[in-house]
A and B are shown apart, each in its own frame.
Chain A
């Protein structure tokens, strides 16, 4: 499973201001590695603080630091996760991030750590969804390996995986068009493309794809097309439970299967024709 964390853009002075502004709550000290980024620490302010008694140990995935110290990325990760709750109301904006920071007991200036267009929040959300999808697929795979579940046929597997991933958008569906447009900003395209391709690669991997030829690319391209078009349909779907979307998805997956079967048939027909011609040529030449 390949998941990516997005250490958000750093507004360095803002994070120093954040620390100053934070109140009586238990504050995690900044890890020493982020210190060298501070060019002018506020006067009289100590860059590093000793841990103040027991506090929630956040085991992020970056962590070279010891358990007592939370890195800047882990903090940003927590803020963004908390901010998601406010997205349906405020959209993918600094307001949502500020509200999220407030629930963690941090100052609203925390929103200054991030870009104003909500890029990091959206990328964080996508990354988290992909991670959840991977875990789900891995769990299903384990069940199949243990013999507790039937192995799904490929079309059903792909349909279920794409549906599961798209369902994660449902709570945020009103504001998702805004998110899509932000993801398409040139600045964000490398990251969003990366997230998309790794998600599609994950789905194919768990579907059991073992191609080592050009099929590797064809399959992923086709599934990416299915995913993107279904996502767009979903944005305009007002049917109960998004049933129109799932029907659309089923049809696209079925189309893809038909296409691949046809391609196989065409290939074997072609080979048979060639063999026939060779046989005819040999006969004629004799």
Chain B
């Protein structure tokens, strides 16, 4: 008698025959977590800078993130993906990051936005690559969604730059630290 019994999952879900469930699971889980976190970051920034001159700009970016989150929540239900256990943690961490960066001033908030949106764009690009390598036809809808969201995150990134993000004191340190945090968040949310 040899090693442990291997699990052979057999899926009979009509909408999902033939998809690579583990890969799609991860993608949707981490993207949902990411949009949830982005929502909380903007909420934190609005709490501090809501009444300042950049308030409307942040609000508009926040509204777009809300749309993104809604879309991924729908996909999560459709593909029966489990959300990450860390959601309550991202809830707090995101808000703290947003509020903290906003307390550094308007430029600080914009620097945070630039850092996060750059991370997210790169992350979406990786996912697009993965899906295209798997099967562009099978994942057409998902690819479309991710491409569109990546473009919008890129826009947020550019808006951040336009609002003097780079003029923040200790910009590169701040940016590196935030991006490291994003990488860790992505790694964990994919798995847990």
A positions within 8 Å CB-CB of B: 1-12, 61-62, 73, 115, 119-120, 123, 134, 187, 190-191, 194, 201, 205, 210-214, 216-217
User: Are A4 and B7 closer than 8 Å at their CB atoms?
Assistant: yes
Q: A210-B77, A214-B88, A216-B82 are in contact. Are A119 and B9 (CB under 8 A)?
A: no
Task: Give the residue of B5, B12, B32 whose beta carbon is less than 8 angstroms from that of A1.
Answer: B12
B positions within 8 Å CB-CB of A: 1-13, 32, 73, 76-77, 80, 82-83, 85, 87-88
Residues of A within 8 A of B85 (CB): 214, 217
User: Are B8 and A8 closer than 8 Å at their CB atoms?
Assistant: no
Task: Give the residue of B7, B9, B73 whose beta carbon is less than 8 angstroms from that of A212.
Answer: B73
User: Are B4 and A5 closer than 8 Å at their CB atoms?
Assistant: no
User: Are A212 and B32 closer than 8 Å at their CB atoms?
Assistant: yes
Residues of A within 8 A of B76 (CB): 212
Q: A1-B11, A2-B11, A3-B12 are in contact. Are A213 and B6 (CB under 8 A)?
A: no
User: Are A115 and B1 closer than 8 Å at their CB atoms?
Assistant: yes
User: Are A9 and B87 closer than 8 Å at their CB atoms?
Assistant: no
Bound-complex Cα distance A214 to B92 (A): 14
User: Are A73 and B8 closer than 8 Å at their CB atoms?
Assistant: yes
Q: A1-B13, A212-B32 are in contact. Are A7 and B5 (CB under 8 A)?
A: yes
Residues of A within 8 A of B83 (CB): 211-214, 216
Q: A4-B7, A6-B7, A61-B10 are in contact. Are A205 and B80 (CB under 8 A)?
A: yes
The 5 closest A-B pairs by CB, nearest first: A212-B73, A5-B8, A61-B10, A210-B77, A1-B12
Given contacts A61-B10, A115-B1, A191-B5, 19 further A-B contacts (CB under 8 A): A1-B13, A2-B10, A2-B13, A3-B9, A4-B7, A5-B8, A5-B10, A6-B5, A7-B5, A9-B3, A10-B1, A12-B2, A120-B5, A187-B4, A191-B4, A191-B7, A194-B7, A201-B80, A210-B77
